Amino acid sequence: MNRDSWAAPALGPEFTHQYVLDLIRWFETEFQVPTAGFQLNSILYVAGPEGFVRSLKATLAQGPSGPRAMYGAIQQDLQNLRRLFG
């Protein structure tokens, strides 16, 4: 497994390095923090969007070798955000 890559093949073939870089770029340049809470996925409700976004930014700062990236969690969060707000 290449930990210089954002790819998360365990999540599916679409989660290539370039696809995840595109999600990151969208998050950093186009995403607007919602003012109200929202349902991120079938399990997770985000009650505090500003805190959630701060957490995502901290996770991204760890790079692709961070624990949430290694297991595909940040990639899924970004994909869900783009699906909801992109």
pLDDT digit string (tens) for the chain, length 86 residues: 556 899 998 898 999 999 999 999 999 999 999 999 999 999 999 999 999 999 999 999 999 999 999 899 999 999 999 999 99
Confidence (pLDDT) at 9: 85
Which structure tokens are listed for 50?
């500003």
Residue with tokens 């070798």: 65
Report the C-alpha gap between 27 and 48 in whole angstroms: 17
Going from N- to C-terminal start, the domains of the chain cover: 9-85
The answer to whether 3 and 12 have CB atoms below 8 angstroms apart is no
Three state DSSP letters for 13-49: CCCCHHHHHHHHHHHHHCCCCCCCCEECCCCCEECCH
Confidence (pLDDT) at 4: 81
